[in-house]
Amino acid sequence: MRIIVFATQKGGCGKSTLAACLAVAAQEAGERVLLLDMDPKKSLSRWGSKRNDRNLLVRAVSPTQLPATLRGLTAHHVSLVLIDTPFLESPAALAAIKAADLVVVPARPATFDIWASEVTGRRLKLMGRDFVFLLNQCPPSGTSSPMQEATEALEAVGSLLRPRIRSRVAFLHAARRGKGVTEVNPKGEAAREIRELWLALRRRLPAG
């Protein structure tokens, strides 16, 4: 069983949407996936209620419940756990990060978001955790000066996943219906990016 945690210092970077869409893509690729929602906003839990899928469950857990929850998953043959967390210094985020095989730090290509992500990356380094940055909600053109500056700033602190995930309406449509973008438009660009992102993440994970 591998554990991926989505964590950041700043909200609004799309952690919940990414977790949901990646969970669907991983399930389509043959993983047995469970989503754990540790964010008080409970966005993933609402998505899971809308989806109502017995094969892709979403559980809300507290920091104290997390260790026992993870121990119990082995008997259920779960191969991949994706955990959505609130802000980095919260007890929920710290508990999830402690259990993670890999921490994904999503960031929008905006100055304040990049600064917050740099802080997150340095904090994760001090904690000795394996992490990667991911540029999310990017503009259609990926060659602008701000995009280049964001890429360089993040790569100065840690590894940056490819591809960048662009801002697309498909993500909004999918979330509203309790779906992943690979389901609502399987041949669309958003679906292609998410599948590529899953492959990139899988290469970073230990064998499971």
In a domain, 164, yes or no: yes
pLDDT of residue 9: 84
User: What tens digit of pLDDT does each residue of 82-126 get?
Assistant: 999 998 889 999 999 999 999 999 999 999 999 999 999 999 999
3 state DSSP class of 83 = strand
Alpha carbon 190 to chain centroid, angstroms: 15
Instruction: Examine residue 19 and state whether it is found in any structural domain, yes or no.
Output: yes
In a domain, 206, yes or no: no
Token pair belonging to 116: 């917050």
**Total Cβ atoms within 10 A of residue 74:** 9
Give the domain extent around 178. Answer: 2-200
Find, among 2, 52, 56, the residue nearest to 28 by Cα: 56
- Is residue 105 in some structural domain? yes
Per-residue pLDDT tens, the chain, 208 aa: give them.
999 999 998 778 889 999 999 999 999 999 999 999 999 999 999 999 999 999 999 999 999 999 999 998 877 789 999 999 998 889 999 999 999 999 999 999 999 999 999 999 999 999 999 999 999 999 876 567 778 889 999 999 999 999 999 999 999 999 999 999 999 999 999 999 999 999 999 999 987 6
> Could you give the number of structural domains in the chain?
1
User: Looking at the domain assignment, is residue 172 inside a domain?
Assistant: yes
Longest C-alpha distance within the chain, in Å?
A: 49
Residue 112 placed within a domain: yes
* Strand (E) or helix (H) holding 12: none
Q: How many residues does the chain have?
A: 208
Structural domain contains residue 208: no
Task: Provide the pLDDT for residue 143.
Answer: 61
Question: In CATH, what number is assigned to the domain containing residue 144?
Answer: 3.40.50.300
